[in-house]
Each structure stands twice: as structure tokens, then as C-alpha cells.
Amino acid sequence: MQNQISVQHYVAAFGKRVILKDVSFSIPSGQLTVVLGENGAGKTTLIKAILNAYLQPKSAADEVNGIEVSTKKLAYVPQFRDLGSDYPLSLAAFVGLAIRQKGWPFLTKKEKGRVQEALALVDLTDLKDLPLSKASGGQKQRAYIAQALAQNPDLLILDEPTAALDAKHSQEVVSQIRNAQQKKGMGVLWISHDTSWVKDFSDNYLWLHDGQAEFGSVDSLPDAARSIHQEEVNDVN
């Protein structure tokens, strides 16, 4: 199976503080990999390095800090985005914004179809005309995910997309993303502190701990990775 991300001897350090020590792993294409690790383990640092490797011009992208990203289109949904209470666009227009061609004011029929499909994947079809500023936190989060999905990425990176959602809506987003990932055959790299769904809805885990990165199938997810996170989630609740 082809790898979408290959990391060889990557080191993350801030001054003398080493966060990740010489880590190596590969993330296969077309699968859902959940990134686990306690607060401060280096998850966001690693994701930033992966995004940088993707964004570098081709000549430099082959190996940036030992990271190679082999994907044509990457979409990223950050952890928190506040678009303000006067944001003027509807959910559908917001989703369409990401795929509208430069210099062309209208979406083509095909592009409109992509917007509709992305909204349907996160169950927002009925709310498509709602101004984004009036949407609830969970609806906004789903709109951000729909905007990423409408770009038809080969690789979707999500930074805790369910962090602000209650258990019911979290579960819905998890299964919507899993459905979209399987339907589109895309890779998903998903930072999560909630491990309750991981065994049933993902393929692999990448566990960052003690400066190391451990990759494996979710069938062999270590209890230590699972329980630490459950405790964190329970603490918050």
C-alpha cells in the first residue's frame, strides 16, 4: 500500500526542549489514522511540520525535516476558527468559497454539485441557506468540515473537530467523517482527545508519548493510549 506521509528521523525541538526525538513512521493512503497524545505531546507541532512539508515548493517538498507528503490535494480543518457574528455568507456560500475558481464569480453546475454533496455528508442540507453567523457551534464545525470535503482532498487533516461538541453531536460527526472518508477513499489524519470511538471508526493510531511516535492498527491500540485520553475527556466533563 502506498504511503501518503512518510516521516524519517524527524526531530521537533524548541530551544533545548526536545518534543519529538528522532521519530520515524509512515501513514498509508486512503485510511483514517487518529493522532493521540497527552497535552503537550507534540501533536500540533507534528501536524504543522506535515503542512509545511506539503506547502513547500516541489524541489524542497521532497524532504522537509525528514517529512515527505505524497498527496495532490490536502485540506486542513484547524481546531478553532471564529468567523465573527457579522460574517455574511450562508453555509452553502461559505462551503462554495473554497472551490470557486479565481476570477469567476459563479459556481459551475459541477461545483454546485460538490457543495451539495459536502453539505449532505455532514447533514447540513436543510440548513444550507442559514447565515454561518447564526449557526450553532456544532453546525459551524460541520460547515468547516464540509468546506474541506468540497475540495475533494486526497488527505484531510482535522485538529480536534469534535472538541466543542456534546457526546451526541460528536458521535454524529465521527460517523459522518468516517462515511465520507470511505466513500471518497481519502486519507484522514485526525487529532483527537476522545478515544471512545477510535476502535470502531478508524483504521490506525499514531500515539505520541515520551518523545516517541508509535504507529499501529487500532486493533492493537495500547490500553495506556486509550485510558489516558478517556481520563482527560472525563476530567473536562
Ligand X SMILES: Nc1ncnc2c1ncn2[C@@H]1O[C@H](COP(=O)(O)OP(=O)(O)OP(=O)(O)O)[C@@H](O)[C@H]1O
**Chain residues in the site for ligand X (CB under 6 A):** 14, 19, 37, 39-45
CA pair distance 162, 214, nearest whole angstrom: 23
CB of 106 to ligand X, least distance (A): 40
Question: Exposed, middle or buried by CB within 10 Å (0-12, 13-18, 19+), for 171?
Answer: middle
CB of 42 to ligand X, least distance (A): 4
Q: 141: Cβ–Cβ under 8 A, 6 or more apart, which residues? A: 161, 162, 164, 165, 173
Note if 214 is an active site residue: no
Count of Cβ atoms closer than 10 Å to residue 215 Cβ: 17
Amino acid at 221: L
Nearer to ligand X, 39 or 237 (CB): 39
CB of 37 to ligand X, least distance (A): 5
Nearer to ligand X, 19 or 93 (CB): 19
**Active-site annotation holder among 160, 172, 231, 232:** 160
Nearer to ligand X, 151 or 196 (CB): 196
Amino acid at 77: V
| Active site residues per annotation | 160
